[in-house]
């Protein structure tokens, strides 16, 4: 028997074919939930994730949708409603972005990044809330990052989108809690996924990561499974008084450590 049961729950995780989203989708499925997998560019890993969920004996729906596109986003919720009839858990994990200095940014990159990373949360929450109310409530959790509050190299537009995500989390948290829908976010430190591959173009990935790890009080990177566990905790009744918050899980990296 799993320690935290999500049996009879329905979860939708955006960007869940690979990386952190995949770990979150598998965690919910391993603990009893039926899961909708959303992907955009990479069908193969998404199909693989869906097969793993099926092997666990859960129902799975695979939806290709660009969550930054309003038609695609609405179709994703239409397909979910048709297949499952309701929703208990919505995880806004998908993210993208134009990484370059502020002076080199273009409106196209701003729109692309903001629409996927921030706008998708607001308009997904509108659709999710209707489906969750029918089932007596639910949980919405988004994945933010340190760039929301700190300055990271070439991260200006993603950082702004994650700051917007965290603000949306507070507003949605307050507005939806009276409907039994709890909204929070998780902000992990560096998690080892494909997203780190861009370091390869800056030199030895291992070397850069090793230098970073030396600055983390916990002495290591975060794993995707650990992110999934914190996300899942926020979807339990034990977390019901945590409302509109962004939970930082970075091994102590963002704390000012006196040298
Ligand atoms: N990795 C880290 O160190 C780290 C640290 C802090 C926060 N985060 C956050 O954690 C989340 C997941 O990160 P990750 O490292 O797993 O990222 P990743 O490996 O870059 O994966 C991004 C995911 O988002 C999906 N995606 C991108 N654009 C999309 C769109 N327009 N519509 C739907 N899906 C889209 C991708 O799907 P396709 O491949 O199918 O396109 C993929 O599944 C993100 O919100 C990220 O900002 C990551």
pLDDT tens per residue, range 84-140: 999 999 999 999 999 999 999 999 999 999 999 999 999 999 999 999 999 999 999
Residue nearest to ligand 1 atom 43, measured at CA: 15
**Residue 10's closest CA among 94, 96, 79, 95?**
79
Q: Is 85 inside any structural domain?
A: yes
Which CATH number covers residue 97?
3.40.50.720
- Tell me what pLDDT residue 243 has: 98
Q: Is 113 inside any structural domain?
A: yes
Q: Is 209 inside any structural domain?
A: no
Q: Which residues are catalytic?
A: 155, 162
Domain hosting residue 32, numbered range: 10-193+225-248
Model's pTM, two decimal places?
Answer: 0.96
The total of structural domains in the chain comes to 1
- Tell me what pLDDT residue 205 has: 66
- Tell me what pLDDT residue 2 has: 43
**Residue 36's closest CA among 83, 71, 1?**
83
Residue nearest to ligand 1 atom 31, measured at CA: 66
Tokens 């507070």 correspond to what residue?
Answer: 170
Q: Is 129 inside any structural domain?
A: yes
Q: Is 215 inside any structural domain?
A: no
Residue nearest to ligand 1 atom 30, measured at CA: 66
From the CB of 41, is ligand 1 less than 6 Å away? yes
- Tell me what pLDDT residue 203 has: 59
Distance CA 211, CA 214 (A): 5
Q: Is 71 inside any structural domain?
A: yes
From the CB of 6, is ligand 1 less than 6 Å away? no
Per-residue CA distances from 111 to 65, 108, 225 (Å): 17, 5, 31
Atom of ligand 1 nearest to the CA of 116: 31
Task: Give the contacts of 230 (CB within 8 A, at least 6 positions apart).
Answer: 186, 247, 249
The tens-digit pLDDT sequence of the chain (259 residues) is 445 799 999 999 999 999 999 999 999 999 999 999 999 999 999 999 999 999 999 999 999 999 999 999 999 999 999 999 999 999 999 999 999 999 999 999 999 999 999 999 999 999 999 999 999 999 999 999 999 999 999 999 999 999 999 999 999 999 999 999 999 999 999 998 876 766 655 556 677 788 889 999 999 999 999 999 999 999 999 999 999 999 999 999 999 877 7
From the CB of 116, is ligand 1 less than 6 Å away? yes
From the CB of 221, is ligand 1 less than 6 Å away? no
Distance CA 200, CA 137 (A): 44
Q: Helices marked H in the chain — which ranges?
A: 19-30, 43-55, 70-84, 107-114, 120-133, 156-176, 205-214, 224-234
Q: Is 219 inside any structural domain?
A: no
Q: Is 179 inside any structural domain?
A: yes
Distance CA 248, CA 259 (A): 22
- Tell me what pLDDT residue 178 has: 98
Q: Are 128 and 78 in contact (CB under 8 A)?
A: no
Torsion angles phi and psi, residue 254, rounded to 5: -85, -5
Q: Which residues partner with 35 through β-bridges?
A: 11, 60
Supply the angle between the helices 19-30 and 224-234 in degrees, to the nearest 10: 50
């Amino acid at each position: 028997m799993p320690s935290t049961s999500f049996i009879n729950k329905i979860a939708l995780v955006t960007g869940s074919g690979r990386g952190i989203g995949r770990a979150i989708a598998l965690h919910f499925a391993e603990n009893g939930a039926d899961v909708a997998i959303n992907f955009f560019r990479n069908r193969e890993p998404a199909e693989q994730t869906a097969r793993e969920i099926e092997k666990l004996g859960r129902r799975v729906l695979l939806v290709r949708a660009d969550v930054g596109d309003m038609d695609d986003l609405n179709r994703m919720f239409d397909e979910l409603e048709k297949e499952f009839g309701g929703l208990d858990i919505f995880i806004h994990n998908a993210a993208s972005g134009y990484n370059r200095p502020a002076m080199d940014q273009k409106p196209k990159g701003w729109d692309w990044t903001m629409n996927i990373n921030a706008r998708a949360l607001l308009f997904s929450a509108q659709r999710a809330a209707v489906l969750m109310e029918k089932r007596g409530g639910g949980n919405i959790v988004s994945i933010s990052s340190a760039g929301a509050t700190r300055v990271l190299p070439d991260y200006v537009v993603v950082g702004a989108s994650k700051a917007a995500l965290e603000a949306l989390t507070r507003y949605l948290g307050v507005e939806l809690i009276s409907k039994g829908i709890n909204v929070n976010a998780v902000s992990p430190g560096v998690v080892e996924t494909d997203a780190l591959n861009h370091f390869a173009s800056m030199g030895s990935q291992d070397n850069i990561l090793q230098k970073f790890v030396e600055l983390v009080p916990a002495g290591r990177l975060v794993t995707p499974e650990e992110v999934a566990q914190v996300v899942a905790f926020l979807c339990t009744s034990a977390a019901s008084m945590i409302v509109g918050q962004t939970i930082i899980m970075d091994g102590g990296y963002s704390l000012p450590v006196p040298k």
